[in-house]
């Protein structure tokens, strides 16, 4: 059974992305996996590139909510990155999370993980998620992680929040059959 950490890079607890993540979580729990989900709705700063972590036992000097997440990241064997599409990319919050993991890297090497990408967006063109997928592909390959696939939910609405039921079902199935 997997130890899964779902990282939701949206500030909106009841938003489309967290709903997608919760559908995935439901499927994964039903399959017997151990799942933790964090929503990056609190303050999370970007990496300031000071390099202190590399001289300081891999501890980041920035004291914010990220400090609560390092242990969860180390615990998990599977990382699910969930993000709204912001200007054709992942959200700033999720990028901050990713950048701050630099603290635990050793000689640019990261712990091995297997990963899934979940995303929501307003548009629903065939190219809507192209840039985000490209980033995810480069990122996972560079770190030597295994990509377990993705669920891309285009056609969402924000006022009020709406995510197609079919996409929630897809995320549930992804979690169930991971
Ligand atoms: C700052 C910002 C940028 C966005 N950029 C895009 C975009 O480039 N393409 C798109 O299709 N939707 C874009 N959206 C819409 C969101 O991706 C969409 O509403 C998403 O489902 C919101 O997720 P949430 O409910 O988890 O916040 C953007 C929304 C915001 C707030």
Q: Which atom of ligand 1 is nearest to the CA of 17?
A: 26
Q: Which atom of ligand 1 is nearest to the CA of 158?
A: 19
In terms of C-beta density within 10 A (0-12 exposed, 13-18 middle, 19 or more buried), how is residue 145 classed?
A: middle
Q: Which two three-digit tokens encode residue 55?
A: 């001289």
Ligand 1 centroid distance, CA of 10 (Å): 10
Q: Which atom of ligand 1 is nearest to the CA of 10?
A: 26
Give pLDDT, residue 122: 98
Say whether pLDDT at 87 is over 90.
Answer: yes
Instruction: Summarize pLDDT for 14-62 with one digit per residue, the tens.
Output: 999 999 999 999 999 999 999 999 999 888 999 999 999 999 899 999 9
Q: Which two three-digit tokens encode residue 174?
A: 């992804």
| 88: confidence class by pLDDT, cuts 50, 70, 90 | very high
Q: Are 6 and 24 in contact (CB under 8 A)?
A: yes
Ligand 1 centroid distance, CA of 47 (Å): 23
Cα separation of 85 and 119, whole Å?
A: 7
C-alpha gyration radius of the chain = 16
Cα separation of 37 and 35, whole Å?
A: 7
Cβ neighbour number for residue 10 with a 10 Å cutoff: 24
Pocket around ligand 1: residues whose beta carbon is below 6 Å from it? Answer: 10, 12, 15-18, 84-88, 120-123, 128, 156, 158, 161
Q: Which of 11, 91, 122 to mutate to test the pocket of ligand 1 (most atoms within 8 A of CB)?
A: 122
What the chain holds in terms of domains, given with CATH numbers, is 3-176 (3.40.50.360)
**Partners of 80 in the β-ladder:** 6, 116
**Partners of 34 in the β-ladder:** 3
Cβ neighbour number for residue 109 with a 10 Å cutoff: 9
Give pLDDT, residue 42: 87
In the predicted model, what is the mean pLDDT of the chain? 97
What proportion of the chain, given as a percentage, has pLDDT over 90? 98
Instruction: Summarize pLDDT for 106-125 with one digit per residue, the tens.
Output: 999 999 999 999 999 999 99
């Amino acid at each position: 059974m997997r130890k899964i950490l779902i990282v939701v890079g949206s500030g909106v607890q009841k938003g489309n992305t967290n709903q997608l993540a919760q559908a995935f979580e439901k499927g994964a729990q039903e399959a017997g996996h151990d799942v933790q989900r964090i929503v990056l709705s609190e303050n999370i700063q970007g990496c300031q590139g000071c390099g202190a972590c590399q001289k300081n036992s891999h501890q980041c000097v920035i004291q914010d909510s990220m400090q609560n997440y390092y242990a969860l990241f180390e615990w998990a064997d599977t990382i699910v990155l969930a993000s709204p599409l912001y200007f054709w990319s992942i959200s700033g919050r999720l990028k901050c999370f990713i950048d701050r993991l630099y603290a635990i890297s050793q000689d640019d090497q990261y712990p091995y993980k297997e990963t899934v990408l979940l995303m929501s967006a307003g548009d629903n063109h065939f190219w809507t998620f192209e840039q985000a997928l490209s980033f995810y592909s480069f990122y996972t390959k560079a770190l030597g992680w295994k990509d377990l696939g993705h669920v891309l939910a285009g056609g969402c609405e924000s006022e009020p929040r709406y995510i197609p039921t079919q996409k929630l079902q897809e995320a549930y199935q992804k979690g169930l059959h991971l």
